[in-house]
Amino acid sequence: MTAKEPNAEPYEGARPRAQAAFAPDWPPADELVAAALRQAIADGSWGRYHGPHGPRLAAALAEFFQTEFVSLCCSGTFAVQLALRGLRIEPGDEVLLAGYDFPGNFRSIEALGAMPVLVDLAPRNCNLAPLQLETARGPRTRAVLVSHLHGGLVRMRELCAWAREHRLAVIEDICQAPGAVVEGRPAGTWGDVGVLSFGGSKLLTAGRGGAIFTRHAEIYQRAKIFCEQGNHAFPLSELQAAILAPQLARLPERNRRRTASVALLRRELADIPCLKWFETDAAPCEPVYYKLGFQFDATAAGCSREAFLAAAQAAGIPIDAGFRGFLHRGPRRCRRAGELTEAARAAAGTVVLHHPVLLQPDDVIQQLAQTLRQICSDLPGQVRP
């Protein structure tokens, strides 16, 4: 989901300069990316089937994630399917995933003829709860697909120990969390396969693209064999690989800047009752922020989530509703494990702030906080839910 354009009529009280800064362009102008493009054009590598950029990017990703095997592909959604194929998930198998997640993950399981099984979330976290997995497991369960969403992190040590006990595979989706650290290890390296997206709004972007990475040679080999259909049928282009390498080098620096901005926002907005911060208990951890999530409390606000979002977007703030979740999908498409109370809460109340604004200077972040505070103070006078 990309940030929406600011409304033509700015929110009353917001400074014009700050409003423009609330929704900066993404991807940003980057001389290292421009230099990589110029070099790829100059040497002709941009148009090759097999050039130097894909192997270099794969090697850089392997080093970054402290893993051995990396397979580049056309999208993050396809990367999930590729991971499932590498794990030999077959029609009729079951794959556990959160009842609130990116819709492409649900559909990737369906694409293989497998059955998604919906698991509830940890309270105040917006991510899959490892404690709920046992109630979801069945005789046909073969894998767990777990995502780190909205600045929250899943307790992967506990999840992977449970999965090993029951001989289940783990796919770790870090499309929102490249560079995060979970319980002392890089996010994406706890499971059997990690998944990345290079979509147009992502922290690492090539417009489209994705990757899987693993320490298991047999998983990598199965993925490679599936993709080789005369040639690589689902590739990341050489041009895309060329522009991703310099972004990967800058990712730690940019993640630190986003983290500092989130810390400032937390201080400035700590006493706003209608915006409840998502928490993580996966310690020690270092979250990263692609879509910074809040649980919007309509009762405390005195108005609907939609009214709040309309006011914030009119002020030029790049904020949207979260995912719709999977609670309305019927029993022919999935199986539910319990009532999914927290997943329902997340689907109804999550709002997400898009990451480009988090790279702005502290004065812009403070103005953003002041604007959000003013909006929240005005909410009881808006349309009731």
- Reference 76, options 223, 176, 184, 183; nearest CA is 176
- Over residues 294-311, the mean pLDDT reads 95
pTM over 0.85: yes
Instruction: Work out whether strand 185-186 and strand 181-182 pair parallel, antiparallel, or are unpaired.
Output: antiparallel
Residue 341 has pLDDT above 90, yes or no: yes
Same domain for 172 and 208? yes
Number of independent structural domains in the chain: 2
Which of 247, 273, 304 marks a domain boundary? 247
Same domain for 202 and 261? no
Model confidence band, residue 20 (pLDDT cutoffs 50, 70, 90): low
Same domain for 204 and 270? no
4 occurs within a structural domain: no
Least confident of 198-202, 336-340, 379-383: 379-383
Which of 247, 263, 297 marks a domain boundary? 247
Q: Which residues of 39-51 are buried (b: 16+ CB within 10 A; e: fewer)?
A: ebeeeebbeeeeb
5 occurs within a structural domain: no
Same domain for 264 and 135? no
Domain around 349: 251-381
Same domain for 79 and 47? yes
Give strand pairing partners of 194.
172, 213
Which of 228, 247, 266 marks a domain boundary? 247
Same domain for 205 and 69? yes
Query: 186-245: per-residue pLDDT in tens?
Result: 999 999 999 999 999 999 999 999 999 999 999 999 999 999 999 999 999 999 999 999
Separate counts of helices (H) and strands (E) for the chain? 13, 15
Phi then psi for 159, rounded to 5 degrees? -65, -45
Q: What is the C-alpha separation between 371 and 354, in angstroms, rounded?
A: 16
Residues 6+ away with beta carbon under 8 Å from 288: 151, 176, 177, 178, 179, 180, 203, 255, 258, 259
52 occurs within a structural domain: yes
Instruction: Give the pLDDT confidence score for residue 19 in this predicted structure.
Output: 52
Same domain for 180 and 291? no
181 occurs within a structural domain: yes
Same domain for 57 and 200? yes
Q: How many residues make up the chain in this entry? A: 385
Q: Let me know: does 347 contact 150? Beta carbons within 8 Å.
A: no
Place of tokens 């200077």: 361
Model confidence band, residue 379 (pLDDT cutoffs 50, 70, 90): confident
Residue 381 has pLDDT above 50, yes or no: no
- Reference 293, options 321, 256, 325, 324; nearest CA is 321
6 occurs within a structural domain: no
Give strand pairing partners of 291.
354
